Structures are given as structure tokens and as C-alpha cells.
């Protein structure tokens, strides 16, 4: 499939249809969360006129093709979608987990509302993977915010907000399971309010805005100078199916997907990162304020018999 996939003339003609006098809706969706919402809204009979996604969101591509929906695959920035949208009417544009920044031409394409669903309690945690950052920072709750889209990232007026608790041992993946249960219903509620012009707009307080950037697998490196609490949050935020938090010994990468506190003793003058105890699939390590057991470990070709207590992880 080409990066930009345009529908046939017949399909574009059909795209202007109205269902039960509802406002014409287009979706910008990526990944599993985007697929869950798209499928739900189709089952609920929403008049979806077009779908935008990225080329690795195969489930979304397949579903849109099965439903004979006009489909744009790829990056729509810099006017790349101008021909695609020229023949499609859009009253409401909804973005869910969409990979690309939405620019002015697509915001203006929506005649009534352009709305994004974001996985935090905005204005806190603007930017990418907000649920991961919330766990890293030890938050006790996060949430889901539906907001109007403007030309700044996650900046528009809030139209709906729901709080999601973060339990002590929950991982980033656990929060996504919660989101998958909540997003479809919130999307439906917001769209029904938008169709009936009943959205309540609450401007964000820019003075309280906090922005966190995109994370990559290389960002998972554990710093042993951190507290045991921060390292534990670091590990659980990035646990499976994410790439995982990691450390090194003698050039070998050791990934941990779980950790627990330990009362194992140590000398204060031992370097942080010192291995205090070795068990099967577990290492007890000194941190700045206590011992932490690394569990559910992955390594490359490391021979565990090479490890000894007193050695230092970096």
C-alpha cells in the first residue's frame, strides 16, 4: 500500500452521505486504542465519512477497507491530504491515539468541531505517552481528556474529563487496558454532545501546563543514583509489552519488567548499583536509599555464573 491511499471517485461520492441526519464524522486513529474506538463507533452507527491512520496500524486499515470507508494512510502534514479531503464533507473530526500532529488545514476542514482524546488530566502531561510519564513521576491518578484541537499541542478547550486511578503496582500496560475500556464510551458521549451542540468548553490554564516529550527504547536506562521508589516507578511504567527499563553489566544489557523493595542490608559507602544478592531471575541491587530486587529479567547472551555479589551495575 502506498503511504497515501486515496479512495476511488465512487467511494468519495458516497462519503458525503448522512446517516439519520447526524453530523458527518471523520476519524484520525492509530494503534490498538484507535482501532477499539473505530470499531465501537461503527457498531453504534455513527456516520463515519473517512478514516486517517498510519501505515503500521494494520487492524485499522483492514477494518476501514472492510467497511468501504475512504482511507488516508500516512502523514497528512504539509497539505498531503488536501486532495483527499476536498471531496469529503466533515462536520466533526475526532482524533484518538493518532500518530501525527494535526495541522490547520485539517482542523479547519471540520465545520463544527475538531476534537482530540488525550490520556491525561490536561493541562498536566501534554505530549506523548502521558500515562507512562504519570507512573514514572509517582502520580496516584491520571485520566482521559477530550479537548478541542488547535495549532498547539494538547492545548484546546476541554470538553470532557475523566479521572483514572493508578494503583501501586500497575504498569503502563495496565493503564492502557483501563483506557481501552473507557475510551469508546467517552468518545460516544462527546460525539453525541457535539452533534447536539451541548459541549461545555473549559479553557485550559496555561500556567499549569506540563509537557513531556516522546520516549524511545533507549530512554529506559536506570540511574542507580535515583531513589528505590523512582526506579520502581521507572520499571513498572515501561514493563511488558513496552521495551522495558534496563541496566548494564560489563557491556551486557539487563532488562527488568518488575521490581520489589528489599530489606537486604548494605554498607552506605558501597556504590549505588552494587549487586547485593543473586537469585534465579532476580538481582538485589543497592540504590541511594535502600535495596531493590530486579525481577522478570531479560538479557542478551549473559552467563549468569559470571555475576557475583559486590559487582556494580551501570
Q: Is the pLDDT of residue 21 over 50?
A: no
Return the CATH number at 233. 3.10.25.10
Distance CA 295, CA 169 (A): 13
Contact 15, 50 (CB under 8 A): yes
Query: What average pLDDT does range 45-73 have in this prediction?
Result: 97
Does residue 14 have a pLDDT over 50? no
User: Same domain, yes or no, for 168 and 226?
Assistant: no
Residue 215 pLDDT class (50, 70, 90 cuts): confident
**In the predicted model, is pLDDT for residue 119 greater than 50?**
yes
pLDDT score at 9: 39
The pTM of the full predicted model, rounded to 2 decimals, is 0.87
Q: Are 19 and 32 part of one and the same domain?
A: yes
Nearest 10 degrees: Cα torsion 134, 136, 140, 141: 20
When pLDDT is averaged across residues 268-283 and rounded to a whole number, the result is 95
Where is the domain boundary, 192, 212, 232? 212
Mean pLDDT, rounded, for 211-233: 93
Same domain assignment for residues 107 and 246: no
Q: Is the pLDDT of residue 58 over 50?
A: yes
Q: Same domain for 40 and 184? A: yes
pLDDT of residue 15: 39
Region 129-143 average pLDDT: 96
pLDDT number for residue 302: 86
Element (DSSP H or E) covering residue 172 = helix 172-195
Q: Is 230 helix (H, G, I), strand (E, B) or coil?
A: helix
Q: Are residues 143 and 203 in the same domain?
A: yes
Per-residue pLDDT, 217? 85
Give the residue numbers spanning the domain of 232. 217-306
If asked whether residues 162 and 259 sit together in one domain, one would say: no
What is the model's pLDDT at position 218? 87
Give me the helices (H) in 8-123, please: 9-14, 31-43, 58-66, 82-85, 104-109
pLDDT beyond 60 at 288: yes
Indicate if the pLDDT at residue 75 is higher than 50. Answer: yes
Rg (C-alpha) for the chain, rounded Å, is 23
Residue 8: pLDDT over 50: no
What is the count of structural domains for the chain?
2
Using the predicted structure, report yes or no on whether residue 5 has a pLDDT greater than 60. Answer: no
- Categorize the per-residue pLDDT at 17 as very low, low, confident or very high, splitting at 50, 70 and 90: very low
Q: What average pLDDT does range 200-205 have in this prediction? A: 97
Model pLDDT, residue 299: 92
More confident residue, 138 or 11: 138
Amino acid at each position: 500500500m502506498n503511504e497515501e491511499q486515496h479512495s476511488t471517485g465512487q467511494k468519495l461520492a458516497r462519503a458525503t452521505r448522512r446517516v439519520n441526519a447526524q453530523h458527518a464524522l471523520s476519524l484520525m486513529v492509530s494503534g490498538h486504542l484507535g482501532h477499539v474506538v473505530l470499531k465501537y463507533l461503527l457498531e453504534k452507527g455513527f456516520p463515519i465519512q473517512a478514516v486517517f491512520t498510519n501505515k503500521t496500524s494494520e487492524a485499522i486499515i483492514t477494518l476501514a477497507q472492510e467497511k468501504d470507508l475512504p482511507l488516508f494512510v500516512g502523514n497528512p502534514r504539509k497539505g498531503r491530504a488536501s486532495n483527499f479531503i476536498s471531496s469529503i464533507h466533515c462536520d466533526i473530526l475526532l482524533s484518538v491515539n493518532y500518530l501525527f500532529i494535526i495541522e490547520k488545514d485539517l482542523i479547519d476542514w471540520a465545520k463544527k468541531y475538531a476534537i482530540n482524546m488525550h490520556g491525561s488530566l490536561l493541562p498536566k502531561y501534554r505530549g506523548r505517552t502521558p500515562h507512562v510519564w504519570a507512573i514514572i513521576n509517582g502520580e496516584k491518578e491520571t485520566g482521559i481528556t477530550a479537548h478541542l484541537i488547535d495549532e498547539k499541542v494538547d492545548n484546546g478547550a476541554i470538553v470532557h474529563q475523566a479521572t483514572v486511578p493508578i494503583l501501586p503496582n500497575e504498569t503502563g500496560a495496565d493503564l492502557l487496558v483501563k483506557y481501552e475500556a473507557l475510551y469508546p464510551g467517552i468518545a460516544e458521549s462527546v460525539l453525541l454532545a457535539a452533534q447536539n451542540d451541548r459541549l461545555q468548553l473549559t479553557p485550559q490554564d496555561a500556567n499549569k501546563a506540563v509537557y513531556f516529550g516522546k520516549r524511545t527504547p533507549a530512554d529506559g536506562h536506570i540511574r542507580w543514583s535515583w531513589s528505590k521508589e523512582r526506579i520502581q516507578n521507572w520499571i513498572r511504567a515501561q514493563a511488558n509489552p513496552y521495551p522495558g527499563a534496563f541496566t548494564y553489566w560489563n557491556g551486557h544489557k539487563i532488562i527488568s519488567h518488575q521490581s520489589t523493595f528489599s530489606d537486604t542490608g548494605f554498607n552506605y559507602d558501597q556504590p549505588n548499583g552494587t549487586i547485593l544478592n543473586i537469585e534465579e531471575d532476580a538481582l538485589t541491587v543497592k540504590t541511594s536509599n535502600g535495596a531493590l530486587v530486579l525481577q522478570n529479567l531479560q538479557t542478551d547472551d549473559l552467563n549468569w555464573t559470571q555475576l557475583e555479589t559486590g559487582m556494580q551495575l551501570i
